[in-house]
Amino acid sequence: MSEERSLNFLEEIIEGDVREGKHDGRVLTRFPPEPNGFLHIGHAKSICLNFGIAQQYNGKTNLRFDDTNPVTEDTRYVDSIKEDIKWLGFDWDQELYSSDYFDQMYAFAMQLIQKGKAYVDDSTAEEIAASKGTPTEPGIPTPFRSRSVEENIRLFEEMKAGKYADGAKVLRAKIDLASPNMHMRDPLMYRIRHAHHHRTGDEWCIYPMYDFAHGQSDSIERITHSICTLEFIPHRPLYDWFIDELEIFPSKQYEFARLNMNYTVMSKRKLLQLVNERFVTGWDDPRMPTISGYRRRGYTPGSIRNFCERIGIAKRENIIEYSLLEFCIREDLNKSAWRRMAVLDPIKLVITNYPAGKEEVLVGENNPEVEGGEGARNIPFSREIWIEREDFMEEPPKKFFRLGVGLMVRLKHAYIVKCENFVKDENGRVTEVHCSYIPESRSGSDTSGINVKGTIHWVSVLHAKTAEIRLYDRLFQVEDPSSEDGDFKEYINPDSLTIIRNAFIEPDLATAIPGKGYQFIRKGYFTLDIDSNENSLVFNRTVTLKDAWAKESKKG
RNA sequence: UGCCCGAUAGUAUAAUGGUAGUACGACUGUUUUUGGUGCAGUUUGUCUAGGUUCGAAUCCUGGUCGGGCAACCA
């Protein structure tokens, strides 16, 4: 373990705290999602950070659902969040809910009222907003700011008891209406919401706001390092204020820059729109930047953890290039995916000198990246095979190492063939390619002495199975849809999904294993989709292979 | 025009007053029964103007640029 890895700024802080014996060297972080949507790759960054950094310093991490807004939250989301975290490979110490602390928070609020540090305000939302002033002008007190402690206690009790309608009253902290930090201008602590909560049911009709719930939950759990994203920086003085006034365990908040990635959007609000307005089939659509979307698409947990490791942690705003994520999944799948052959856009190749009716069984290793190949599978071969249409050209350009009249290629795991001729239909479309094969060139026992530049994949016509193949491309046409003019949805890529109904696959793929990655040789990495059943197979393309020829041929 | 945060190759991220490095991308070459992989190499950078110092990406001051903050959301 001589590997020298430089520390990010949070690791430096925590390492410093541990070294100085702060909290007796104890490290406890938390991952605090609101259960109002599915987790996305940005959450994965936070998960890897919170769980990873705790592991590094022999600490633990709580999973805490920040469920203080009953109208947006649902147990359905709770379940998906837990599944996603487990799938990523992390275990939480305790599964907790902010709503578990509603009694305690209520008591905290009462404490502040008794100290004269909180008051019930009957103003409307608009009145409160107006009275807060602007960043350059101080706010002015509402008439309710000077209520007595006794009256505040009575009113807050009545709020809890359900005596008032939604919006009739709020509880506010009494801090500083002239603060240059807008968050300190008497922020709301509680609002009235006669709504059913997914855990507490109808027990409560007042709910704490984020600012009054989060830090208090951290403190109750004795969280040592409460890590959140940059936009909460202005909240930190308030976070500290509540803890100071309540004289409770001093959790500390630290902030890092959230993940942004090009050609996608990363806000739950926008992702929810894509789902609700049917631009995608659901939260787990393989085009979505959600963890469940990547899982369905064929990404592995390791590739996502590795990605999160590589992007680093800092406070600078960033937009990560999608190509880095692609690199991470290719790196992983190259080592683990089993090789198979599938023809997506078929054209028939007839081997004119191969006896009709003859069949051979060829052998192909599963994984050339591993010694021994992780075993092998049988591949039937016969006189007629499917090849990729793009692997034949009537008038091949220079450096085209595939088929054209007079050109030779190797059929992967099989023989070298030479193109003799081709057949066109009345529309001029090529329908068949005719080749002769070289019997002594069989893979593994090639005595022909011929070297060819190209090797192509194929599937025996007689033995081919069919499958639906879904090809995914980036969801948006522009790098940063949110920063463009107009609605971000105007920039959705109309070709983000291409469905191939009847691709030909080699017979072994009929028993493809769900969750396993396969490399369709020369075409990319694929995985079985959950839409598959006994009668029909559906594969998702996880990512293409790098394609040097595509670049070369573009040059003209 | 208030307060806060930030600024290092195309994109990220190191260098903690002492040689500006790494990864991805791009581009070359090489290997290859995948135009994949592997291997070797090339390319491009400290926002700006001052100051402190023997020495500044790093510390200080001013500016510029980017982002956040005035939800009964989190």
Please give the model's pTM, rounded to 2 decimal places.
Answer: 0.96
A342-457: CATH topology is: Ribosomal Protein L25; Chain P (2.40.240)
A200 touches strand B (CB under 7 A): no
Whether residue A452 contacts residue A416, with contact meaning beta carbons closer than 8 Å, is answered with yes
* Tokens at A17, concatenated: 């705290």
A545 touches strand B (CB under 7 A): yes
Domain boundaries, chain A: 9-258, 268-338+467-555, 342-457
pLDDT at A1: 34
Q: Is the pLDDT of residue A200 over 50?
A: yes
Mean pLDDT of A122-134: 96
| Distance of C1' in B56 from CA in A383, Å | 73
User: In angstroms, rounded to a whole number, what is the distance separating the alpha carbons of residues A415 and A408?
Assistant: 10
Per CATH, A268-338+467-555 and A342-457 having the same topology is answered yes
| CATH number for the domain formed by residue range(s) A268-338+467-555 | 2.40.240.10
pLDDT digits (tens, 9 = 90+) for A500-518: 999 999 999 999 999 999 9
Q: Which of the 466-505 residues on chain A come under 7 Å of nucleic strand B at their beta carbon?
A: 483
Nearest nucleotide over every DNA/RNA strand to the A315 CA, judged by C1': B6
A314 touches strand B (CB under 7 A): yes
- For residue A275, CA distances in Å to A13, A26, A355 come to 39, 42, 54
A30 touches strand B (CB under 7 A): no
List the one residue out of A371, A105, A89 whose CA is nearest residue A221: A105
Whether residue A446 contacts residue A440, with contact meaning beta carbons closer than 8 Å, is answered with yes
Alpha helices (runs of H) in A380-432, residue ranges in sequence order? none
Lowest mean pLDDT among A334-338, A343-347, A442-446, A551-555: A551-555
Q: Is the pLDDT of residue A556 over 90?
A: no
pLDDT digits (tens, 9 = 90+) for A481-504: 999 888 999 999 999 999 999 999
Q: Strand A497-505's sheet: what is its strand order?
A: A338-340, A517-520, A524-528, A538-543, A465-472, A497-505, A342-343
A9-258: CATH topology is: Rossmann fold (3.40.50)
Residues 6 or more apart in contact with residue A278 via CB below 8 angstroms: none
Sign of CA dihedral A192, A198, A200, A203: positive
Q: Which of the 105-144 residues on chain A come under 7 Å of nucleic strand B at their beta carbon?
A: 123-125, 128-129, 132, 134-136
Mean pLDDT of A427-455: 96
| Distance of C1' in B72 from CA in A209, Å | 9
Q: Residue type for A44, please?
A: A
Q: With helix as H, strand as E and coil as C, how does A448-476 read?
A: CCCCCCCEECCEECCCCEEEEEEEECCCE
A91 forms beta bridges with: none
pLDDT at A115: 97
Which chain B nucleotides are covered by protein, judged by CB under 7 A? 1-8, 10-16, 23-27, 33-38, 66-74
Q: Which of the 80-99 residues on chain A come under 7 Å of nucleic strand B at their beta carbon?
A: none
Mean pLDDT of A30-48: 97
User: In angstroms, rounded to a whole number, what is the distance separating the alpha carbons of residues A521 and A444?
Assistant: 18
Q: How confident is the model at residue A2 (pLDDT cuts 50, 70, 90)?
A: very low
pLDDT digits (tens, 9 = 90+) for A163-184: 999 999 999 999 999 999 999 9
pLDDT digits (tens, 9 = 90+) for A355-371: 999 999 999 999 999 99
User: In angstroms, rounded to a whole number, what is the distance separating the alpha carbons of residues A239 and A237?
Assistant: 5
Neighbours of A335 (CB within 10 A): 12
Mean pLDDT of A200-222: 98
pLDDT at A4: 61
Q: How confident is the model at residue A5 (pLDDT cuts 50, 70, 90)?
A: confident
User: In angstroms, rounded to a whole number, what is the distance separating the alpha carbons of residues A49 and A34?
Assistant: 18
pLDDT at A357: 94
Q: Which residues of A are part of the catalytic machinery? A: 34, 258, 268
Work out the percent of chain A whose per-residue pLDDT is above 90: 96
pLDDT at A553: 85
